[in-house]
Amino acid sequence: MERPTRRRPRRRTVIIASAVATVLTLSSAAAWAADRYVIAHVQIDDVAAYEAENSPTTVGETDGATDPGDAVLTETSYTDGRATVEITKVVTGSVESTVTAFVADVVLTDATALRSAFAHNQFGENITELTSSIAEDNDAVFAINGDYYGFRDTGIVIRNGVVYRDEPARTGLVFFTDGSVDVYDETTTTADDLLAAGAWNTLSFGPAIVEDGEVIDGIEDIEVDTNFGNHSIQGDQPRTAVGVIDDNHVVFVVVDGRQPGYSEGVTLTELADIFVDLGVTTAYNLDGGGSSTMYFAGDLLNSPSNGGERATSDILYLAG
The structural domains of the chain, with segments of one domain joined by +, span 11-39, 45-319
Query: Model-level pTM?
Result: 0.88
Please report, in tens digits, the pLDDT of each residue of the chain (320 residues total): 455 555 555 555 555 556 656 656 778 888 888 887 889 999 999 999 999 999 875 444 444 445 667 899 999 999 999 999 999 999 999 887 999 999 999 999 999 999 999 999 999 999 999 999 999 999 999 999 999 999 999 999 999 999 999 999 999 999 999 999 999 999 999 999 999 999 999 999 999 999 999 999 999 988 776 555 554 578 999 999 999 999 999 999 999 999 999 999 999 999 999 999 999 999 999 999 999 999 999 999 999 999 999 999 999 999 99
Spatial distance between the Cα atoms of 99 and 108, rounded to a whole number of angstroms: 29
Phi, psi of 51 (to 5 degrees): -70, -40
Q: How many CB atoms lie within 10 A of CB 67?
A: 11
The number of helix segments (H) and strand segments (E) in the chain equals 5, 21
pLDDT at 3: 52
Element (H, E) at 102: strand 99-108
* d(C-alpha 75, C-alpha 58), whole Å: 31
Angle at 23 between CA 22 and CA 24, to 5 degrees: 90
Contacts of 289 (CB under 8 A, 6+ apart): 237, 238, 305, 310
